[in-house]
Structure 1
Amino acid sequence: MNAPQTPGQSLLEVVDLAVDYQLKGISLPAIRDVSFDLRAGEAVALVGESGSGKTTTAMAVAGLLSPNAAVTAGGVRYRGRRLPIDDDDAMRPHRWNDLSVVFQGAMNALNPVQRVSKQIAEPCMLKLGMTRDEATARASELLELVGISAERGAAFPHELSGGMRQRVMIAMALACNPSVVIGDEPTTALDVITQAQILKLLTKLRRELNLALILITHDLSVVAESCDRVMIMYAGRVVEDGTVADIFNNPKHPYTKLLIDSIPDPSTGKRISRPIPGDPPTLQNPLSGCAFRSRCPSAMSICARDLPELGAHEQGRVACHLYPAPAEARGFHQMGEVTNIMALENLQVHFPGRGGMLSNLFGRPAAHVRAIDGVDLTVRRGEILAVVGESGSGKSTVGRVITKLVQPTGGKLVFDGKDMTSVEGLALRPYRHRVQMIFQDAYQALNPRHTIFDIVAEGVRSLHLVSGHEAIMQRVAKSLAAAGLNPPQDFFARFPHELSGGQRQRVVIAGALAVEPELIVADEPVSMLDVSIRAQILQVLIGLRTQRNMALLFITHDLPVAWSIADRIAVMYLGRIVEIGSADDITFNPKHPYTVALRDATPKVRPMINADPLPGLNGEVPSAARIPTGCRFHPRCPLAMDRCRQEEPPVVDVGPHHQSACWLASTSQHS
């Protein structure tokens, strides 16, 4: 029997869950970025029209997806531990014991040739090891619990009413004392009186047994008095999430408003239900941008371009461009503990310097160029980490080390737990498949004599990822489409000079995507583009992270661009990281004088929040061959003290997940 739960304790976490269906060899996205948590004694309803993804979500959580469906991203945690929802054998110990399902059609779910008591007793024997007599007694106890006389356990399913059969299903779901029960449309086929009885029973049981309940329904009216929270789903995504009171009394998303408006309500005198115009998009024909825009009375031009993020707003969450997501909602929702895909440990890259004429004449050794001089950095799975700094800061060299284009002279490069520092030659082939780079100048990165098809297919062919021309064509088309080049076949025979700058950059992105990497290093990928094309490319990168749970190291000199795309920002100066933290902390609450200077030097459309400007910087960035003693920023720092000229400051915590290497920060931390 499961340990007793305290009300409010988190039992289940669903994080960035994505599921695809395979149809005639084509992968179709069914749900994307579904995240929620469930606490002991809490009831959460997943509501939406047919095809919204609510049942797929429930079946994925239970590990009961159909054979043509697969979890492609995200996951589920139960009591803090990851559930193996993509492994049927590994999930068996969790079904019935930890979580169970009440299915929609009780007559189809029950065995018509077995007495109901025996069907309830069966999981007790299989899962709990009870004897037949013990299991029979348990079945009688459960029938009484759901309001059926124990004597009726001798009946066959067809001898019971629809409501009684549904109660038997609930009794079976409770047989092994689960903590989480999933009800997949458990009242859809019932009359309103029986429906009310079943909902009342579910409410009573979850309160008495401290059960957590996930209720799947297309009907908002059935959850008004039986659930605590409601999640509205549309086209495979959660578009609004809030308490029952907030969703009913103050809905924000236009789809939620129309759903509620479609329900006749005698209490308000509304007799005519208003159907939502149009039809939801199908898996085969998804819409770009907001999937609801074709049916939305409030649709704007941005709705066709950009997918709205699910951001926190007042009482809940909403994904709608009418309510722009606050900055703090942009970050990637990590599962429980943070997992790193890549780590740099005391990384160093020192290049041999070139001596001047006098040095060569007298045989003096030239000073080494310390391009990277002790960098510790991690990139988390599914994260966008921006590295910001002036030219010569070492940020591009960091990217070239990660992509194995430059060999470090010290420290370690660890990828997915494996030391890759000294790996070379053919042994690098698996790594090339998992780590790719997007270069700054797309025109130079593309071979002018090759067609777009051959350029994008090059990595697939060289790494032998798929065989056969048809398979390669599908991979190329999929990658071009993911990079925003549609229809992809129109670009196959074209050459780079026939494309615009933005299209060429998308081809570079497609080439990286074609090998399906887990980490992409993007080195100034938008610095040569105009602002409108830049915004499009940034949206492509953000969307790819969301769709593929792909990590991105984004290198830029532009702090606002970094803020617009990144979860975290690392600031580099002269070969070292001098500050690192969330995108908001670095942009709006910088602690290092160099970060403040970067912020103040950025051209602004409007003044930045909480911006306390410093005096301008002194001089130029020193040579990496002659790094100053002490704090390497002190020759240019308007706040430099004597200590800054003598000792290099350590990296210290200046806030939650926010670190800075500055004596001012160190002093304030220890004062």
Structure 2
Amino acid sequence: MPDPISSDPKSSDRPSSDRQTPLMELSGISQIFKTKRGDRPAVRDVNLTVNAGEVLCLVGESGCGKTTTARMAAGLTKPTDGTVAYNGQDIWSMDKDQFTEFRTSVQYVHQDPYASLNPIRSVYKTISAPLRKHGLSKGNDDSWKQASELLRRVDLTPPESYLSKFPHQMSGGQRQRVAVARALSLNPKLIIADESTSMLDVSIRVGMLNMLGRLRDELGVGFIFITHDLAIAKYFGWEGRTAVMYLGEVVEYGPTQQVINDPQHPYTRALLNAVPEPDPDLAAQKLPGGGLRSADIPSLAALPSGCTFHPRCPLFEEGLCDVTSPELSLIGSRREVACHVVARESGRAAADASVSVSG
């Protein structure tokens, strides 16, 4: 297990004038979908950053806004409010050439390997298409050579056994590796992996994660890694950061090691409680229902007042949590948590510690 992340203030996640510009920065982005039955606020006021070569994990239950946030980050959907900046520039103020460069630098790996590949294209045509479109190959021989090398990078060897195949002739894991090879064809700086291992058998999931980790280390590629499973976030993003989302908002954000080992928000604790535990004795210690007051997730059409998590929260305080919406507050030096009770208790603990030191 890696050593704990340094608490050096220079490594703070907050923007600083003496720090390099983040590779990608999401500032106050929101997405409201218009429907016949009214507006649906899928994502609300999300602020996240990803640095070069870093892993940012987005975790939460299905429907919490992870994929919508990722689509805005990739430039596939324009946010209703807020800005998406790539290397410090708002992507929606870029000219055509700049936006094309951004779209080649940020690649998307979809969840379903059965639907993300064109069934009538061979593996070679799938991988060589972006090379040809962007002028990165010189003729058929060069395209074949580059496609072969990309397949080697994703551990599909020998490549000659796969280049002429079609998607229906491969397993789910092999298809997903082809999707990753296609994403790598344009030498991206950031890959957005949207539940890219959730549809794979457990037996090949670890191999896929190891392959992605190796590419991250060898190529210096950053990742926005979306998953509903905190165990996977821990495995893949241990040295990165994790943002926990609930009903379109970030409720906890910080170094993955801190979020996993010492969760502060009651929703994060419930997610960790839901991770399967093979040890029967440890499994017996888990709280029924994650310790939540309710298993029902509120509808986006009728969000609860105050903190949207309060109908399910074991720390609920009437007159506070159901009245005022909490903001992300700094807990410690590098963690942010959106919870009235946690922020209050953290403030008291810090004050007591200060008094103790001064005394």
TM-score normalised per structure 2: 0.87
After TM superposition, the structure 1 = structure 2 runs for residues 229-628 of structure 1, keeping only pairs within 5 Å, are 325-326=1-2, 328=4, 337=19, 339-355=21-37, 366=38, 368-423=39-94, 428-566=99-237, 567-606=240-279, 613=287, 615-628=291-304
Cα deviation 1:521-578 (Å, max 9, x = unaligned): 0000000111120000000110000000110000000010011001211100011100
Higher radius of gyration, 1 or 2: 1
Look up the SS of the partner of 2:118 in the other structure: coil
Cα deviation 1:593-652 (Å, max 9, x = unaligned): 00001011121223779x985523403221223222211111111211121101111211
**Stretches of structure 2 lacking an aligned partner (at least 5 in a row):** 12-17, 349-359
Taking a change above 3 Å as real, the CA distance of residues 507 and 414 of structure 1, as seen in their structure-2 partners, is same
The separation in 2 between residues aligned to 1:400 and 1:377, in whole angstroms, is 14
After TM superposition, the structure 1 = structure 2 runs for residues 622-637 of structure 1, keeping only pairs within 5 Å, are 622-637=298-313
Cα deviation 1:154-177 (Å, max 9, x = unaligned): xxxxxxxxxxxxxxxxxxxxxxxx
Cα deviation 1:274-333 (Å, max 9, x = unaligned): xxxxxxxxxxxxxxxxxxxxxxxxxxxxxxxxxxxxxxxxxxxxxxxxxxx446379xxx
Give 1:455's aligned amino acid. T
The separation in 1 between residues aligned to 2:276 and 2:20, in whole angstroms, is 35
Give 1:656's aligned amino acid. S
Taking a change above 3 Å as real, the CA distance of residues 381 and 602 of structure 1, as seen in their structure-2 partners, is same
Give 1:589's aligned amino acid. D
Cα deviation 1:88-121 (Å, max 9, x = unaligned): xxxxxxxxxxxxxxxxxxxxxxxxxxxxxxxxxx
How far did 1:418 drift? 1.0
The answer to whether the 8 A contact 1:634-1:645 is kept is: yes
Name 1:52's counterpart in structure 2: none
The separation in 2 between residues aligned to 1:399 and 1:634, in whole angstroms, is 26
Look up the SS of the partner of 1:449 in the other structure: coil
The answer to whether the 8 A contact 1:591-1:665 is kept is: yes
Give 1:351's aligned amino acid. F
Look up the SS of the partner of 2:168 in the other structure: helix
The answer to whether the 8 A contact 1:568-1:580 is kept is: yes
The answer to whether the 8 A contact 1:644-1:663 is kept is: yes
Give 1:350's aligned amino acid. I
The separation in 2 between residues aligned to 1:474 and 1:563, in whole angstroms, is 36
Cα deviation 1:476-496 (Å, max 9, x = unaligned): 122111111111122110111
Give 2:334's aligned amino acid. H
Taking a change above 3 Å as real, the CA distance of residues 424 and 447 of structure 1, as seen in their structure-2 partners, is farther
The separation in 1 between residues aligned to 2:339 and 2:286, in whole angstroms, is 17
Q: Indicate yes or no: 2:335 matched with 1:664.
A: no
Task: Tell me: higher relative CO, structure 1 or 2? Use CA pairs within 8 A at least 6 residues apart.
Answer: 2
How far did 1:428 drift? 2.6
The separation in 2 between residues aligned to 1:416 and 1:612, in whole angstroms, is 43
**Stretches of structure 1 lacking an aligned partner (at least 5 in a row):** 1-324, 356-365
Name 2:354's counterpart in structure 1: none
Look up the SS of the partner of 2:121 in the other structure: coil
The answer to whether the 8 A contact 1:339-1:381 is kept is: no
The answer to whether the 8 A contact 2:55-2:223 is kept is: yes
Cα deviation 1:480-526 (Å, max 9, x = unaligned): 11111111122110111111111111001001011110000000000
Cα deviation 1:218-243 (Å, max 9, x = unaligned): xxxxxxxxxxxxxxxxxxxxxxxxxx
The separation in 2 between residues aligned to 1:608 and 1:586, in whole angstroms, is 20
How far did 1:424 drift? 7.7
Give 1:450's aligned amino acid. R
How far did 1:427 drift? 5.2
The separation in 1 between residues aligned to 2:198 and 2:20, in whole angstroms, is 31
The separation in 1 between residues aligned to 2:125 and 2:331, in whole angstroms, is 49
Identity of aligned residues (%): 37
The answer to whether the 8 A contact 1:597-1:617 is kept is: no
Look up the SS of the partner of 2:322 in the other structure: helix
Give 2:263's aligned amino acid. P
Taking a change above 3 Å as real, the CA distance of residues 617 and 563 of structure 1, as seen in their structure-2 partners, is farther
The separation in 1 between residues aligned to 2:140 and 2:220, in whole angstroms, is 28
The separation in 1 between residues aligned to 2:315 and 2:184, in whole angstroms, is 45
The answer to whether the 8 A contact 1:429-1:463 is kept is: no
Look up the SS of the partner of 2:179 in the other structure: helix
The separation in 2 between residues aligned to 1:420 and 1:608, in whole angstroms, is 47
Give 1:344's aligned amino acid. L
The separation in 2 between residues aligned to 1:478 and 1:523, in whole angstroms, is 24
The separation in 2 between residues aligned to 1:419 and 1:454, in whole angstroms, is 33
The separation in 1 between residues aligned to 2:95 and 2:226, in whole angstroms, is 24
Cα deviation 1:4-52 (Å, max 9, x = unaligned): xxxxxxxxxxxxxxxxxxxxxxxxxxxxxxxxxxxxxxxxxxxxxxxxx
The answer to whether the 8 A contact 2:293-2:311 is kept is: no
The separation in 1 between residues aligned to 2:147 and 2:91, in whole angstroms, is 29
The separation in 2 between residues aligned to 1:569 and 1:406, in whole angstroms, is 22
The answer to whether the 8 A contact 1:523-1:556 is kept is: yes
Taking a change above 3 Å as real, the CA distance of residues 639 and 408 of structure 1, as seen in their structure-2 partners, is same
TM-score normalised per structure 1: 0.47
Give 1:348's aligned amino acid. S
Q: Indicate yes or no: 2:325 matched with 1:648.
A: yes
How far did 1:669 drift? 3.1
Give 1:670's aligned amino acid. G
How far did 1:381 drift? 0.9
Name 1:138's counterpart in structure 2: none
How far did 1:423 drift? 4.6
Name 1:73's counterpart in structure 2: none
The answer to whether the 8 A contact 2:21-2:87 is kept is: no
The answer to whether the 8 A contact 1:392-1:621 is kept is: no
Taking a change above 3 Å as real, the CA distance of residues 616 and 415 of structure 1, as seen in their structure-2 partners, is same
The answer to whether the 8 A contact 1:572-1:579 is kept is: yes
